Amino acid sequence: MCMSTSMGLKDIASRKGIAVGCCINDAHLNEGKYRSALVRNFNLATPEYELMHSQLCPTRGKYDFENADKVVAFALKHKMRIRGHPLVWQSRLNIPSWLARQKLSRSEAAKLLKDHIMTVMKRYKNEIHDWVVVNEAMNDDFKSGKFKLRKGFWFNRIGPRYVEMAFRLAHIVDPKATLWYNDYSMDEINGKSDAVYRLIKGLLKKGAPIHAIGLQMHLASHWNLDPKSVEANIRRFQKLGLKVGITEMDVRIRKPVTKKKLKKQAKMYSGMLRVALNTRCEDFSLWGVTDAVSWIPESHKGYDAGLILDKKYRPKLAYENLVEALNE
């Protein structure tokens, strides 16, 4: 099969000093087209779900790293940096059911938090040097405008301090790792990004080892993000001494998918890439590469086509616009 000699995103991006990333789903690594689309375009990998607590530890005391190891091995083989994700996330999809049922004292919960972080980070100490330590700790109550730490498994048992505790534990396990806070709907300056800014600023003041902020950037093509506001948001976190990355971008389209909506999607992808380039973000990462493998249709009924290659792995206008923005 002749491989097209044209460069992929990562080659063009490397000239601009930005990593281009993608989540990797181990269940599709046996598909040639999926593998080559990843290898050709990306030099940073995030396991899509294989490092979730519920996937690693479906039964108490027994860790199964098989699927995560597959993603890590693939990434290493193709010289991709890896962002481990997520160590601590209160989503009910992430907390193992056996754990969710546990009545735990604060110290028992703190011990379980420590055990999990140490078990996972130690296994990949030589392979993973970036970790999303806490994912989506801030609520998204845009209706009330009152943004505070989400209640949830760890918050309810340990209290708000679980966030700082997680970062301090991760830093003890691997003092050299870059430790990320990652969240969604905090791309522009808004109530949620303000609340995260206050939280992180406060934690940094207490000496918490937080090094980077991940803006997930899960968008819809009918939204209108203001690039200036995203840029200002990125810069204010950088002013705290933090690295910033775009960690999970996709732009879902409300069906029917039309040429007009694909054009808008392409504009949004390249607009956010330009923001990432202007602000020297660590990386510009997508939450998938092909519409054939995407969380969107399952999780957002009535939406589809959120990524940069179509279901047949053909480059969409979004892909072409990213290449254009990188060649500017």
Binding residues for ligand G3I, per CB under 6 A? 25, 27, 48-49, 91, 93, 135, 184, 216, 248, 295, 299
Q: β-strand 243-254 against 303-304: which pairing, if any?
A: antiparallel
Task: Name the residue nearer to ligand G3I (CB basis): 23 or 322.
Answer: 23
Contacts of 91 (CB under 8 A, 6+ apart): 135, 136, 152
Q: In angstroms, give the least distance from the CB of 202 to ligand G3I.
A: 24
Instruction: Return all residues near 136 (Cβ < 8 A) that are at least 6 apart.
Output: 89, 90, 91, 150, 182, 183, 184
Catalytic residues: 136, 248
Handedness of CA 23, 311, 301, 322 (dihedral sign): positive
Q: What is the nearest approach in angstroms of ligand G3I to the Cβ of residue 51? A: 9
Beta bridge partners of 212: 180, 243
What are the residues whose beta carbons fall under 8 Å from the beta carbon of 299, sequence distance 6 or more? none
**Considering beta carbons, is residue 8 or 288 the nearer one to ligand G3I?**
288
Q: Which is nearer to ligand G3I, 154 or 295 (CB)?
A: 295
CA distance 112 to 109: 5
- Minimum Å distance from CB 295 to ligand G3I? 3
Strand 283-286, strand 178-183: pairing:
unpaired
At its nearest, how many Å lie between ligand G3I and the CB of residue 215? Answer: 11
CB of 252 to ligand G3I, least distance (A): 11
Query: CB-wise, 27 or 73, nearer to ligand G3I?
Result: 27
- Residue showing tokens 């479906």: 58
**CA-CA distance, 148 to 157, in Å (whole number)?**
17
Question: Shortest approach of ligand G3I to residue 4 CB, angstroms?
Answer: 28
**Helical axes 191-205 vs 162-173, angle rounded to 10°:** 60
- The C-alpha angle with vertex 178 and arms to 220 and 147, in degrees rounded to 5, equals 45
Residue with smaller CB distance to ligand G3I, 42 or 295 = 295
Locate 88 and state its tokens. 């601590």
> Helices in 17-105 by DSSP H: which ranges?
32-41, 53-56, 66-77, 97-100
Phi, psi of 253 (to 5 degrees): -115, 130
Number of other residues whose CB lies within 10 A of the CB of residue 228: 11
Q: Looking at beta carbons only, is 54 or 233 nearer to ligand G3I?
A: 54
